[in-house]
């Protein structure tokens, strides 16, 4: 069965949560424009077809077809996904590698991860959820070491100190900045 309304509701709820969090730290444009490609036919219709409600429909499409056409479209248009930043390495590593993400997209990626956990977990969500989800798959991530370190630092901060503290930190040290902040012990 195609779940048009349910899928629309889920992606819109996710977009609203990301926007709310982005606004809290002063990322207004990113909050407004986050994930607009999910409403394009290339992403929306597969999302409806493979909708399950408790996880990304991209996973179900991938399991059935061996790839997700919606995800391939999405990651190629949304710079807040580390997969967008995979390219041929010019350094000592040969082949494909994760490139260092600009800080503005790292900030959006963090908000995206928090919002996805909130939407898919619903009432089961806690401040520990985004880190726990990240930990499950991190060994397979092709992500630049500095981007990985910052992402893990912020997710651990959220896990230990909560959203208010983490968002205040991001607003002060990350939003509107060009350089990654210095990572300290939490």
Global pTM reads 0.94
pLDDT confidence of residue 36: 98
Measured CA to CA in angstroms, residue 161 lies from 50, 74, 123, 156 at distances of 36, 32, 20, 8
| pLDDT, tens digit, 9 for 90 and up, residues 28-71 | 999 999 999 999 999 999 999 999 988 899 999 999 999 999 99
Q: How many CB atoms lie within 10 A of CB 30?
A: 22
pLDDT confidence of residue 41: 98
pLDDT confidence of residue 1: 62
In the predicted model, residues of the chain with pLDDT beneath 70 are 1
First to last CA, the chain: 47
pLDDT confidence of residue 78: 98
């Amino acid at each position: 069965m195609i779940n048009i309304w349910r899928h629309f509701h889920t992606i819109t709820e996710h977009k609203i949560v990301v926007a709310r969090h982005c606004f809290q730290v002063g990322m207004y444009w990113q909050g407004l424009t986050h994930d607009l490609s999910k409403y394009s036919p290339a992403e929306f219709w597969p999302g409806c077809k493979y909708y399950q409600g408790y996880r990304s429909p991209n996973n179900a499409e991938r399991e059935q077809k061996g790839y997700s056409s919606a995800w391939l479209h999405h990651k190629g248009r949304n710079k807040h996904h580390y997969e967008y930043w995979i390219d041929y390495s010019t350094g000592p590593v040969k082949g494909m590698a994760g490139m260092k993400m600009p800080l503005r997209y790292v900030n959006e990626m963090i908000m995206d991860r928090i919002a996805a956990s909130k939407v898919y977990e619903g009432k089961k969500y806690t401040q520990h959820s985004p880190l726990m989800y990240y930990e499950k798959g991190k060994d397979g991530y092709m992500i630049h070491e500095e981007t990985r370190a910052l992402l893990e630092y912020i997710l651990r901060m959220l896990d230990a100190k909560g959203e208010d503290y983490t968002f205040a930190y991001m607003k002060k040290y990350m939003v509107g900045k060009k350089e990654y902040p210095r990572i300290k012990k939490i």
